[in-house]
């Protein structure tokens, strides 16, 4: 079996390809990183290092790589011949992969081949729908043609993965637990399980909201707050018990709406949160605030992890004060090299925080959540300048 996977980064190589390899696929990566592509084509393997098992080395073999820039024809051909297509490129990059992927699917359709599953594995609400929209925008396929050639489910994706230079090669340190949940009704065959080790569900919302709002929201808001406290490494922040408590409380606020909406028992949610915080505090792991907090515009989107939680809590009449503080902290995130952080900073300087809150979060002025974000922002700002 052959899989084509777009994005040979941390989740691509460290998680998705691990499951694909366990399932028995030979993998063709498609990535813009020429150095990485060359390494994979030289060795046809790479290594994962399982953190909790004393960095046990695991080989992922039968891999090769293509460049979407210099080898678009080969990418198309690989899609025509593939048994499965997956992505882990960061959803912001969907517009950049859409042409290659749409061209490949169109060629597959023209070749009279069967429908194929295209499974995007990205942290975003309904990444399958996002990808479909980008594919249609290329104009290379009509909606009917896309439907005829591909099943594109959305997913929830969770694994601890870190880039690591080991044994002179570009490897990935990985956690020993993970979750990949796939929306089964959108698959070519809803009863087939094209990736071993994944879960298949008819109710993705439940897992997606828990993963994105509780895990990613909790991690992201902790990172913005930790940055304002002066931390660079999230494990240093977690060493202080009050900080861990604050993160747990933020996650419990987001978890509360998910309990109500999806019927999770409170105990189950609390255990899930504690297990997640425990995983972030794994001895020996050093994770930068910069990695966790990156791309604040994407993370402040009304449909993303923070604002969605704040609004859902509001709808259910649940407390969201800590989430609103987390959102406020994101507006002060300031790390050299983060283009989205720089864009927010410039927007605030030009238009003021009052406009910026609505511009990035969609939260209108006049509501109490708007006021609370503004107040928290002003408090943080005053502290920062003292
Ligand atoms: N890192 C993590 O802990 C987790 C990440 N995720 C999600 O997984 C996805 C991937 O994240 P990471 O692996 O951390 O990012 P990453 O930055 O390590 O990997 C992204 C890869 O995509 C490649 N890429 C970018 N533009 C491309 C293009 N036009 N064509 C082909 N390849 C392209 C990059 O070169 C890079 O190798 C994201 O959606 C993220 O939200 C989900 C769970 C955990
Ligand atoms: O690009 P994003 O959405 O920040 O994804 C990476 C995030 O996913 C997580 O691994 C959680 O699954 C976080 O540790 C990390 O911050």
336-353 as b/e, with b when 16 or more CB fall inside 10 Å?
Answer: eebebbeebbebbeeeeb
63-66 and 26-30 strand pairing: parallel
Q: What is the pLDDT of residue 385?
A: 78
Ligand 2 centre from 39 Cα, in Å? 26
Residues 6+ positions from 200 with CB-CB distance below 8 Å: 181, 182, 184, 187, 193
Do 96 and 242 lie in one domain? The reply is: no
> Ligand 2 within 6 A of 251 CB?
no
Same structural domain, 62 and 112: yes
**Domain at 184, CATH number:** 3.40.50.720
Across the chain, the runs of DSSP E, i.e. the strands, are 2-6, 26-30, 45-50, 56-61, 63-66, 84-87, 116-120, 150-151, 155-166, 169-183, 199-201
| Half-sphere exposure in the Cβ direction for 199 (13 Å, CA) | 14
For ligand 2, is residue 219 a contact (CB within 6 Å)?
yes
- The whole-number pLDDT of residue 223 equals 98
Q: Which of 177, 202, 227 is the last residue of a domain?
A: 202
Would you say the CB of residue 279 lies under 6 angstroms from ligand 2? no
Beta-bridged to residue 119, according to DSSP, are 86
The residues lining ligand 1, judged by C-beta closer than 6 Å to any ligand atom, are 6-12, 30-33, 68, 88-91, 93, 96-97, 122-123, 157-159, 161
Distance 267 CA to ligand 2 centre (A): 24
Residues 7 and 125 in one domain: yes
What pLDDT, on a 0 to 100 scale, did the predictor assign at position 381? 95
| Domain final residue pick, 202, 237, 269 | 202
> What is the rounded distance in angstroms from the CA atom of residue 64 to the CA atom of residue 259?
43
Q: Find out whether the beta carbon of 158 lies less than 6 Å from any atom of ligand 2.
A: yes
Mean pLDDT per 10-residue segment, the chain (386 residues): 98 98 98 96 97 96 98 98 98 98 98 98 96 98 98 97 90 96 98 98 95 97 98 96 98 98 97 96 92 97 97 98 98 94 97 98 96 98 85
- Judge if 198 and 218 occupy the same domain: no
Query: 123: Cβ below 6 Å to ligand 2?
Result: yes
For residues 117 and 91, state if they share a domain: yes
Q: Say whether both 171 and 214 belong to one domain.
A: no
Which residue range(s) make up the domain with 318?
205-385
pLDDT at position 386: 74
pLDDT given for residue 167 in this prediction? 81
Task: Clarify whether residues 210 and 187 are in a common domain.
Answer: no
Closest of 272, 200, 281, 204 to residue 240, by C-alpha: 281
What is the pLDDT, as a whole number, of residue 73?
Answer: 98
How many structural domains compose the chain? Answer: 2
175 and 267 assigned to the same domain: no
Same domain, 217 and 341: yes
352 and 234 in one domain?
yes
The CA-atom distances, in angstroms, between 340 and each of 32, 57, 293, 344 are: 21, 36, 11, 6
Atom of ligand 2 lying closest to residue 216 CA: 11
pTM for this predicted structure: 0.92
To test the pocket of ligand 1, the residue of 5, 7, 291 to mutate (highest count of ligand atoms within 8 Å of its CB) is 7
> Which of ligand 1's atoms lies nearest the C-alpha of 96?
29
Predicted-assembly ipTM surpassing the 0.85 threshold:
yes
> What pLDDT is stored for residue 247 in this prediction?
98
Q: Indicate whether 227 and 367 sit together in one domain.
A: yes
Distance (Å, whole) CA 179 – CA 184:
15
Instruction: Verify that 266 and 362 share a domain, yes or no.
Output: yes
Final residue before a domain boundary, out of 202, 219, 244: 202
Could you tell me if the CB of 215 is within 6 A of ligand 2?
Answer: yes
Question: What CATH number does residue 343 fall under?
Answer: 1.10.1040.10
Residues 277-315 as b/e (b if ≥16 CB within 10 A, e otherwise) read bebbeeeebebbbbebbbbbbebbbeebbbbbbbbbbbe
């Amino acid at each position: 079996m052959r899989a084509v996977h777009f994005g040979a980064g941390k989740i691509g190589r460290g998680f998705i390809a691990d499951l694909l390899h366990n399932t028995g696929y030979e993998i063709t990566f498609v990535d813009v990183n020429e150095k990485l592509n060359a390494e994979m084509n030289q060795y046809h393997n790479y290594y994962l290092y399982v953190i909790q098992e004393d960095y046990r080395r695991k080989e992922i073999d039968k891999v090769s790589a293509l460049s979407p820039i210099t080898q678009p024809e080969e990418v198309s051909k690989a899609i025509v011949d593939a048994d499965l297509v997956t992505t882990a490129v960061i959803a912001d990059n969907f517009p950049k992969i859409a042409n290659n992927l749409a061209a490949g699917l169109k060629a597959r359709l023209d070749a009279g081949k069967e429908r194929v599953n295209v499974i995007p594995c990205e942290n975003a609400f309904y990444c399958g729908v996002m990808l479909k929209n980008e594919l249609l925008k290329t104009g290379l396929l009509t909606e009917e043609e896309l439907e005829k050639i591909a099943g594109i489910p959305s997913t929830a994706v969770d694994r601890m993965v870190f880039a690591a230079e080991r044994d002179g090669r570009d490897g990935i340190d990985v956690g020993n637990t993970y979750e990949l949940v796939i929306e089964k009704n959108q698959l070519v065959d809803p009863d087939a399980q094209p990736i071993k080790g994944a879960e298949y569900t008819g109710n993705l919302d439940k897992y997606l909201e828990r993963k994105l709002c509780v895990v990613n929201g909790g991690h992201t808001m902790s990172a913005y707050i930790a940055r304002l406290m002066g931390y660079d490494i999230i494990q240093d922040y977690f060493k202080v018990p009050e900080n861990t408590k604050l993160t747990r409380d933020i996650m419990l606020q987001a978890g509360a709406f998910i309990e109500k909406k999806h019927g999770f028992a409170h105990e189950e949610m609390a255990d899930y949160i504690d297990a997640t915080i425990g995983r972030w505090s794994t001895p020996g792991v050093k994770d930068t605030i910069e990695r966790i907090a990156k791309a604040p515009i994407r993370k402040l989107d009304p449909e993303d992890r923070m604002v969605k939680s704040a609004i859902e809590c509001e709808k259910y009449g649940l407390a969201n004060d800590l989430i609103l503080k987390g959102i406020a902290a994101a507006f002060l995130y300031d790390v050299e090299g983060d283009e989205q952080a720089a864009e927010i900073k410039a927007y605030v300087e030009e238009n003021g925080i009052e406009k910026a809150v609505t511009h990035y979060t969609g939260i209108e002025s006049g509501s109490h959540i708007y006021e609370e974000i503004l107040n928290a922002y002003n408090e943080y700002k005053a502290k920062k300048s003292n």
